[in-house]
Structure 1
Amino acid sequence: MPSEENGASSCGRETNVHGTGYDAAARACLWDAWLNGSTAGLMITMHTVEGDPISYMMRVRPGPIVDVTEDSRDRFGSPGVTRTTCKTLEKRAGSGDRFGFVLRGCDGRASEIVIP
């Protein structure tokens, strides 16, 4: 597994364009790190209906804490980069065997972040 600058193991990058590109192994890597109290990072990029990318860089670390950097290039939403620290990471069931994340207890502009 490649490493990141801060010593966190990298779970990789997922680029999800309208439902294609989902990476179960990358998401499981981040979830396992959270459960084990390890440090790891995962970048998930999703695209709006218009094709604008919204990226979430999530880093879990002991505490437990999740650091989230959101880079939105949504022309019809709120573009820009925001950084948030969250206290909990939850696994959220999706369709079939897919799952997303819900981050709660976040500081910053939202107390909850949902990543489908």
Structure 2
Amino acid sequence: MNTFLLGAAAVAAGGFVGGVARWALVRLNGNYRHPGTWAANVVGSAVLGFSLALPGILPLLVGTGFAGALSTWSTLARELGEHLKARHWAQAARSALSTAAVTVVAAYFGMVYGQRAFG
């Protein structure tokens, strides 16, 4: 199989599983989206960091496919816009800052554990 097709298949397979995982996370709290969106972005960032140490085609499957579909930055942007439109300034700031801070830390720890596991 040609390398491009193998890479595309890996991204598609990971994307499918990541999309289903995001759907499940968002639905855990009923239809209240915000905690699910936050969790999906944090876990997606940790998985992306971890995937950097994986060998072969696995970074495409796990990082680009799974973590890319699991994380949902566009939904975060929409949710922040809803807060701002409703003039919930503190909620918008808290959501934006906590997501930014925690996802950077999660990606860092993902990289650290990925390096420990796969050196």
Larger strand percent: 1
Superposed pair shares fold, TM > 0.5: no
TM-score (normalizing by structure 1): 0.29
Q: Which has the larger radius of gyration?
A: 2
Higher relative contact order (CA 8 A, sep 6+): 2
Larger helix percent: 2
